[in-house]
């Protein structure tokens, strides 16, 4: 219980601090014989700051419950 609580606190705080993560995809726009053109698109996946806070509070509750 203690380790799970600590992990939840760390993950919750990380979500609150960073707020989102992003990734890039590459797609082919033109493919004419040996000539190719690609386009990089960046995608952002936002987390809710409230969700991060709820996860961190859940970790604190696990730590408190584990002691009792």
Please name the helix (run of DSSP H) or strand (run of DSSP E) that holds residue 11, with its range, or none.
helix 2-18
Please say if the pLDDT value at position 5 is more than 70: yes
Q: Of 44, 60, 68, which Cα lies nearest the Cα of 11?
A: 60
> DSSP of 25-64, one letter per residue?
EEEEEEEETTEEEEEEEEEEEEPPHHHHHHHHHHHHHHHH
Query: From CA 53, how far away is CA 50, in angstroms rounded?
Result: 5
pTM, two decimal places: 0.59
pLDDT at 46: 79
Q: How confident is the model at residue 68 (pLDDT cuts 50, 70, 90)?
A: low
Q: What is the pLDDT of residue 1?
A: 80
Indicate the SS3 state at residue 20: strand
Average pLDDT over residues 49-62: 89
Task: Read off the pLDDT band of 15 (50, 70, 90).
Answer: confident
């Amino acid at each position: 219980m203690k380790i799970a609580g600590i992990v939840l606190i760390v993950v919750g705080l990380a979500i609150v601090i960073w707020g989102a993560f992003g990734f890039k995809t590459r797609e082919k726009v033109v493919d004419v014989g040996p000539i190719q053109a690609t386009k990089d698109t960046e995608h952002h996946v936002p987390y809710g700051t409230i969700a991060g806070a709820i996860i961190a509070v859940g970790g604190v509750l696990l730590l408190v419950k584990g002691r009792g």
